[in-house]
Structure 1
Amino acid sequence: MTSKIVPCIWLTDQAEQAAAFYTSAIGGRILATSYFPESSGNPSGRPPGSVLTVEFEVRGQRLTALNGGGNGEFRINPSISFFIEMGSAPAVDRMYAALSAGAHTLMGPDSYAWSERYAWVQDRYGVSWQIMATDAPGTRVIPSLLFSGEQQGRAEEAMEYYTHLFDNSSIETVSRFTSSDAGPEGKVAHARFVLESTPMVAMDSAVEQPFTFSEALSLQVMCADQAEIDRLWNALTEGGRPSQCGWLADRFGVSWQIVPARMDAWMTTADTAARDRVFQALMPMTKIDIATLEAAARGETTAFGSR
C-alpha cells in the first residue's frame, strides 16, 4: 500500500548520505531521487542539477530526505521522533548500536516501566529514534509527535482534530499522567492513533522543554486531487500559517506539506526540461494548483502564477 503520509527530514546537503545511512542501519531501500533544475538556480543555494530529495523506505515506513539548504534555521529536535518496535531486548541493543555512531543518547538502553528494553537516541543528523521491545509482530517504524514548549498539553486536542480531518483515522489508546507521575496530571503520557491508515504516537512532554515543532521535520500528505488539497489546506491553515510550495504550519505548530501524489512522478521523470518547468511553476505557489503543474509538465505554458 502506498503511504499517504510521508515524514520529510530537512537537511542542508546530506540527503543522499542520510538515506543511505538509514536504509543500512534500520533496513530498507532507496525508492527515488529528484534533482534541482539544471536550467536555473534555486532558493536552497544548492548547485543546479544536484540532488533535491531522496525517497526511501525503512521497515515499511516511507520517508523523504530533503536538501533544503539554509544556515541551520530549521534545526531538527525531538518534537517529532520515530519509534522502532523490535521483537526482543537483544534486537533493541543491535538497533541502538547501529544508530548511535556519532549520535547523542537521550536515554540509554535499559529496562523501563513501559518496556523491558528501551533506548532513545538522537542520531548524527539530529533525528530521534525511540527503540523499544514490544510484543507486536515484526518490526515497525512509527512517527511520534511530542507536544512540548508552547504546545505542551495539547496532544489530545490535536489527535481529536487530526482524526476528524483525515480519512481512515482513529484514536486507538490513550494513557494519561496521574497524580503520582512526574508529568502534568490528566495529560497524555502515551497515545496511539491512526492517520490515513498510518500508525502514529502522540505524547505530552512530562517536563518543560526548550523546543517545539518546526519545518525541520514535516509531514507530507500525498493528495489524490485538487479537491483533497483544497480541503486539507483550508482546514490546516485555519489558526495556522501558510507558507510556500504547499507547506504550512497548523494551529499546533506541526508543519505539513499538502502535495499531489503525482509530484514524485513529475520531479523524477527522465525529461529534465519537464522537471525544470514543474519546479519553476511550483516556486511561486502557496497552496498547490495541480492544473498549473500538469500544464508545466506538458510544456503548455511558460508563465505561472500562484494559487
Structure 2
Amino acid sequence: MKNIVTCLWFDQQGLDAARFYTSIFPNSEIGTQVVLDENGQPATVPLTVDFSLNGSPFVALNGGPMFSFNEAVSFQIMCQDQAEVDYYWDALTAGGEESQCGWLKDRFGVSWQVVPTRLPELLGQGDPEVARKVMEAFMPMRKFDIAALERAAVS
C-alpha cells in the first residue's frame, strides 16, 4: 500500500478549498486536476483536485450537493506554541465559525481542532486533580490559551 488519501466531497468548491488549504499549511501543493465531468467530457470545474497538506495527500471531489461536512469527521492540528495556535485558528476561522474546545468550521464547512501539544501533556501527567482543573479551564475556551491551561494546572 502506498498511501491512505483523504477525499473531501465538495459541491463545486474543491479547487477553491485546495487553494485555501495549501496557502495555510507549509509543505503543501496542488497536484493533478481532472477537468472532466462524470461522463468523461470536458468541464469548467475540475471533477477532482489532488493536493497535499504538510506532505499528507488529499483529493477534493466536486461531487455535487448531496453530501455535506459535519463534526463527525475532523482534522486535528497539533501546535507547538501559542503563535501556531493563533496562526491556524485565525487562518481557518476566516469566513468560518468558532466553536468550543479548540474546534472550528472553516468557510467550506470542514471541522478542525487546533490543539496545543501542551494540552495532552498537562492532561496526561497522571494527576487526576490537575487533569480536572485543566479540563475545567479548557471546556469554555474557543481558541486554546496555553498560558491559561498552565495556570489552571498549578492552581
CA distance in 2, matches of 1:195, 1:251: 17
3-state DSSP class of the match of 1:188?
Answer: coil
15, 31, 43: which is aligned to 1:172? 31
RMSD over aligned Cα atoms: 1.9
What aligned pairs does 1:45-60 form with structure 2 within 5 A after superposition?
A: none
Which runs of no fewer than 5 residues in structure 2 stay unpaired?
Answer: none
Q: Provide the residue aligned with 1:194 in structure 2.
A: 52
Q: Is the 8 A contact 1:174 1:188 kept in 2?
A: yes
Unaligned runs of at least 5 residues, structure 1: 1-137, 301-307
Structure with larger Rg: 1
SS of the residue corresponding to residue 47 of structure 2 reads strand
TM superposition shift of 1:181: 3.2
Q: Residue type matched to 2:139 in 1?
A: M
Give the TM-score normalised by the residue count of structure 2: 0.90
Superposition pairs of residues 178-217 of structure 1, within 5 angstroms: 178=37, 180-181=39-40, 185-205=43-63, 207-209=64-66, 211-217=67-73
Q: Partner residue of 1:282?
A: 138
**CA contact under 8 A between 1:163 and 1:171: conserved in structure 2?**
yes
Separation in 2, partners of 1:213, 1:179? 21
1:266 to 111, 122, 140: 122
1-side partners of 2:75 and 2:38: how far apart? 34
Cα separation, 1, equivalents of 2:19 and 2:47: 16
Pick 1 or 2: higher relative contact order, CA cutoff 8 A, min separation 6. 2
Measure, in 1, the Cα distance between the counterparts of 2:118 and 2:57. 23
Confirm or deny: 8 A CA contact 1:240 1:249 kept in the other structure: yes
What pairs with 1:107-146 in structure 2 (closer than 5 Å)? 138-146=1-9
Aligned identity (percent) is: 43
Shift of 1:180: 4.1
Residue-by-residue CA offset, 1:79-128 (whole Å, 9 max, x unaligned) = xxxxxxxxxxxxxxxxxxxxxxxxxxxxxxxxxxxxxxxxxxxxxxxxxx
CA shift at 1:235, angstroms? 1.7
Whether the 8 Å CA contact 1:163–1:194 is kept in 2: the answer is: yes
Structure-1-length-normalised TM-score: 0.47
- Check the 8 A contact 1:238/1:251 in 2, yes or no: yes
